[in-house]
Amino acid sequence: MNTLEERIKEFARKQGIECLGIAGPDRLKPVPESPPSLDPGFIMKGARSAIVFALPMNVPAIYDFLSKKSATPHNIDQKRMVQVVFWKATRIQEFLEKEGFKAHVVRTNSDYRRSPNPFATHPSFSHRFGAIAAGIAAHGWSGNVMTREYGAAIYMSSVVTDAELKSDQPLDPRYFIDGYCSKCKLCVKTCAVQMFQEHEEEFVLVNGDRHPRAKRYNINLCNTSCFGLHGVTWDKKSSSWGRYWIKDWVGKTFKSTKKVKVFKDMLQQGFLTGTSFRRYEVIRRMASIRWPEEYYQSLPDTHNLPDSEEEQVRIQREYSAEKLGVRGLDDYNVSTCAHCALICGPTLKETSRRYKMLAKGGIVVPGPDGVMKRVETFEEAEDLIENGSYKLGFIEKTLDGILLLFQFPWFYFGFNPKSIWQGFRYRRALKKSRQEVNLPIDILN
């Protein structure tokens, strides 16, 4: 008779999941050997094991996104696929329950532990750390996790259970860093705000092992760029799909920027956009709520999208307004960056191809009608932003700022003694381990 682990994997394959791994109790070691975000107890009391899987992002949609042809196919792919993995994980949960075990799906995104700093966004259970523990992934240079099958351009989900499962063999912590990333590191060149270094590395502790990645300057640089609050690159040659620029950041690098300033600039820009509340509501609702399956099934997969950009925009707008309940946005392309993950393909040749698309893609900024317009030079983009870009009114900006003021505290503010204590113990262990090899101690757990 097949083992439970074999039955789980066979069931997953029938669900179209090929990249799946299992982490048992021996691969979910508690703090301080692992980060708090690898503790399945934050999701389900008594959880002992985790099943983690990955599905690939649509590659043609990535090409359109990086080349600045259109951001819409990739955004539709995201809205569809975050629900697909949610529901596939639900099927695995139901399978385990039929086997007589308790199980619980980890929400696809925006599932954060409450914290005195509601913007800290510590995952209740990290799909990335879970993928490392389950043996399907290891860190790439950017800090994204990479799989052998798909690179870093993946959607992930996890299910925790009280079943004591046998762990799959993990990848060596340096599996991609030494073999793949050492020949590439193109992810460094894709980051508009240069959040991580090209040559210096740091590490995190996972199950007592040192897992390397590039040294990070400040995670809020990434938060700012990925939320579309600052889109133009430091060298002014290209951009993300972010609709906004922080004037004080244009043409600058951030190697010595104080964290307080970055945090202040990020919050200030978020309050000034006039759309931040609704944009985050789209992000939160599309990935942290499991909607009826017919919702995501109403979105065509990217192979069957209509050719017309206007029709694609209409499909996404109607899904966001009618299914997710977020209305009034001119642009529902809330996924604006993640370049470091999107360019990272399963081969060096594919990664190089994607990077060239991004490097030649130019700059996009909002035009007079609010639609993102591609231009070739920084001077054209600057002129459009200053003189021809669509701008929201004072009342709309003020209302959005007030709603945003309550949004993050409502969902993420609080005091979780277990989380605070575990975070303290982990940081102390990490500091000690990094001091042994003379590395910096700053880490987001």
| 389: confidence class by pLDDT, cuts 50, 70, 90 | low
| 145: confidence class by pLDDT, cuts 50, 70, 90 | very high
- Rounded to whole angstroms, the Cα distance separating 366 from 368 reads 7
Confidence (pLDDT) at 367: 87
How far the first Cα of the chain sits from its last, in Å, is 41
Answer for the pair 133, 126: CB distance below 8 angstroms, yes or no.
no
For residues 307-328, give the mean pLDDT: 96
Answer for the pair 96, 336: CB distance below 8 angstroms, yes or no.
no
Q: Across the strands, what pairs with 156?
A: 54
- Rounded to whole angstroms, the Cα distance separating 182 from 168 reads 26
Helix (H) or strand (E) holding 105: strand 103-106
Surface-to-core class of residue 43, CB atoms within 10 Å of its CB (0-12 exposed, 13-18 middle, 19+ buried): buried
Answer for the pair 66, 240: CB distance below 8 angstroms, yes or no.
no
pLDDT 10s digits, 287-315: 999 999 999 999 999 889 999 999 999 99
Token digits for 192?
A: 């508009």
Neighbours of 70 (CB within 10 A): 19
Confidence (pLDDT) at 106: 98
Confidence (pLDDT) at 132: 98
Confidence (pLDDT) at 439: 53
Q: E-assigned strands of 174-222? A: 196-206, 209-216
Is the predicted pLDDT of residue 436 greater than 60, yes or no? yes
Confidence (pLDDT) at 386: 82
| 441: confidence class by pLDDT, cuts 50, 70, 90 | very low
DSSP letter for each residue of 11-74: HHHHTT--EEEEE-GGGSPPTTTS-GGG-GGGTSTT--EEEEEEEEPPHHHHHHHHTTS-SHHH
| 444: confidence class by pLDDT, cuts 50, 70, 90 | very low
**Which residues, at least 6 apart from 316, have a Cβ–Cβ distance to it below 8 Å?**
72, 75, 76, 79, 299, 332, 333
Is the predicted pLDDT of residue 257 greater than 70, yes or no? no
Confidence (pLDDT) at 410: 94
Answer for the pair 358, 339: CB distance below 8 angstroms, yes or no.
yes
Percent of the chain clearing pLDDT 90 (strictly above): 82
Ranges of each domain in the chain:
4-421
Q: Which of 259, 237, 254, 119 is nearest to 193 (CA)?
A: 254
Helix (H) or strand (E) holding 286: helix 276-288
Confidence (pLDDT) at 385: 83
Backbone angles phi, psi at 146, to 5 degrees: -115, 145
